[in-house]
Structure 1
Amino acid sequence: MSIPDYQTLMLPVLEIAAAGETRVPDAAEKIADRLGLSIAEREEMLPSGKQRLLHNRIHWAKFYMNKAGLIDIPSRGRFCASAAGRNFLEQNPDRINVEALKNFPEFVEFYSKSADQSTLNEAPASIAAAASDSTPEEQIDAAHGLMHAALKAELLQRIHSQTPSFFEKVIVDLLLAMGYGGTHEQAALKLGKSGDGGVDGVIDEDRLGLDRIYVQAKRYAAHVSVGRPEVQGFVGSLVGLGATKGVFVTTSSFSSHAIEYVKHLPQRVILVDGARLGDLMVEHDVGVRLNRTIFFKRLDEDFFSDE
């Protein structure tokens, strides 16, 4: 089964906390056993790769219930049910969620924008955000993923609106940004100047020119995939040149036959489709620039430690 959202986890987290002081990893193990989660589900990470998904959702369940006064934090990294939390459990609730927490003044106060917003009808938009099944970090990751996908699509669209020579420049800039080649001028001279029918260019793998990478670039529309015959023609050119390394870049995609074909070659041939091209351009700041940086800070538990 999939990992429940953090609101669904509120009730089991409070029940475990009512049994005595616990920690997020311990609560996660008990909940995972109760739900019968697989090892893969227990180890599933947030998209950021910074924390286990189950641990993150338990943390936010605990955090919001603490703001409602149902959870106490007696010491670093430990939590337990408060008297109010135990009393609430005695009512045998079927579920605890953000809507239920709105009945606790402490919770509403936590989300209030100002002193004049004292009623639930005037509660700020952050309560609506908290009411989502996703934790704040999951919402941030989802928003980042959406913006990243939109940026990649826009990059490819703009590449298609430019000239073929501009696409060659994009490949030069990208390879240089990734650490290949020497100067921009040297790379530009080599890319697109090989004279071989199946190779668009060659670029030094390092600044000393100890090894070379041969490049093929195809600016195709999204619905036109690169098939095995085109890749096979590129590999044939590599063999004729005595080359062992090649990169085939396209703005579209590769057919399954082309992908399978390069897996069994003695030469090292990397296929870069439009999606990966967009990822690499964003990662290496080619055709994009930083818009803004947002820092998220956490409580420093060591600062408050008595040790």
Structure 2
Amino acid sequence: MADPDFQSMFVPFLCEFSDGEEHAIKQVTEAIADGMDLTRQDREEMLPSGSQRRLANRVGWARTHLKHAKLIEYTGRGVMKITQRGLDTLSSHPNGLTLKKILISLLNTTSGTTKNGHHLRHPLTAINAAARVHLKSKSLV
């Protein structure tokens, strides 16, 4: 396989959803493979463990990170759609999106309040704090 990493699939993944419609992960995986001109052999290549196809693994990791960043949302089993945040991110990063950019976007997410006026903490507060420490230790920020 040309061995694209999961980060290289962020923009193609979001592009598949840019129509605002729901899409099944299997269809998205095939569309990404077509867009990357992967051969049948590339598409069928297994991970060293033999438990999963490498392409499905990479697309799965891309999906996981995009969902945690609230760029996509699940609408059913194996079915997703892009969020407004995902559309905004795609328009501001059409040529590439990295995990670093996604983490920074999450770190900049502001919390809000509930309708009762209670402070609503971001559900990833602990992860955000850990990510800040990690990013600073790696001199990425």
TM bucket (normalised to shorter chain) is: 0.7 to 0.9
Question: 1:74 is matched by which residue type in structure 2?
Answer: T
Shift of 1:23: 2.1
Measure the CA separation in 1 of the matches of 2:69 and 2:10.
Answer: 12
Measure the CA separation in 2 of the matches of 1:62 and 1:55.
Answer: 10
Matched residue, 1:91? 92
Larger Rg belongs to:
1
TM-superposition CA deviations, 1:183-229 (whole Å, max 9, x none): xxxxxxxxxxxxxxxxxxxxxxxxxxxxxxxxxxxxxxxxxxxxxxx
Measure the CA separation in 1 of the matches of 2:56 and 2:131.
Answer: 32
Question: 1:86 is matched by which residue type in structure 2?
Answer: L
Q: Secondary structure at the match of 1:9?
A: helix
Q: Secondary structure at the match of 2:92?
A: coil
1:82-231, aligned counterparts within 5 Å? 82-105=83-106, 110=124, 112=126, 117=129, 120=132, 122-123=133-134
Matched residue, 2:68? 67
Q: Secondary structure at the match of 1:103?
A: helix
Measure the CA separation in 1 of the matches of 2:130 and 2:36.
Answer: 39
Measure the CA separation in 1 of the matches of 2:108 and 2:73.
Answer: 14
Question: 2:79 is matched by which residue type in structure 1?
Answer: R
1:47-66, aligned counterparts within 5 Å? 47-66=48-67
- Which has the bigger relative contact order, CA under 8 A and spacing at least 6? 2
Aligned length: 123
Question: 1:96 is matched by which residue type in structure 2?
Answer: L
TM-superposition CA deviations, 1:61-120 (whole Å, max 9, x none): 01101111111111111111111001112224321111111222379964835x9x3772
Over the matched positions of the two proteins, sequence identity in percent amounts to 29
What TM-score does the superposition give when structure 2 sets the normalisation length?
0.74
RMSD: 2.8
Measure the CA separation in 2 of the matches of 1:93 and 1:57.
Answer: 20
Question: 2:48 is matched by which residue type in structure 1?
Answer: P
What TM-score does the superposition give when structure 1 sets the normalisation length?
0.36
1:1-40, aligned counterparts within 5 Å? 2-19=2-19, 20-40=21-41
CA contact (8 A) 1:44 1:54 kept: yes
Q: Secondary structure at the match of 2:51?
A: coil
- In structure 2, stretches of 5+ residues that fail to align are 110-122
Measure the CA separation in 2 of the matches of 1:34 and 1:15.
Answer: 11
Matched residue, 1:231? none
CA contact (8 A) 1:6 1:61 kept: yes
CA contact (8 A) 1:70 1:84 kept: yes
Measure the CA separation in 2 of the matches of 1:107 and 1:30.
Answer: 31
Measure the CA separation in 2 of the matches of 1:102 and 1:42.
Answer: 29
Measure the CA separation in 1 of the matches of 2:32 and 2:8.
Answer: 12
Measure the CA separation in 2 of the matches of 1:58 and 1:99.
Answer: 18
Matched residue, 1:45? 46
Measure the CA separation in 2 of the matches of 1:107 and 1:101.
Answer: 10
